[in-house]
């Protein structure tokens, strides 16, 4: 079984044992562009993903100043 990343309507299967940062990079997701949550709690880039984990990614929208 694998771990899963969910961003909007896309799902990415990832290998357990890798860090969130490695999983994001492997799938072409810019780490600074998302906030990751697992079971409703925010997790950091160095979190090791486990079998069965479902990590929801929330896109961060940044704005500029005038």
Domain of residue 21, CATH code: 3.10.20.90
pLDDT tens digit string along 2-23? Answer: 999 999 999 999 999 999 999 9
Domain extent, residue 51, equals 3-59
- Residue 40 placed within a domain: yes
DSSP string, 5-43: EEETTEEEEE-TTSBHHHHHHHTT--GGGEEEEETTEEE
> Structural domain tally of the chain?
1
Task: For residue 15, count other CB atoms closer than 10 A to its CB.
Answer: 12
Question: Per mean pLDDT, which range of 7-16, 19-28, 55-64 is the poorest?
Answer: 55-64
- Residue 42 placed within a domain: yes
Average pLDDT of the segment spanning 24-31: 96
């Amino acid at each position: 079984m694998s771990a899963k990343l969910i961003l909007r309507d896309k799902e990415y299967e990832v290998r357990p044992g890798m860090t969130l940062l490695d999983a994001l990079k492997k799938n072409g997701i810019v780490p600074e562009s998302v906030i990751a949550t697992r079971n409703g709690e925010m997790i950091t880039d160095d979190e090791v993903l486990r079998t069965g984990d479902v990590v929801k990614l929330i896109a961060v929208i940044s704005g500029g100043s005038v």
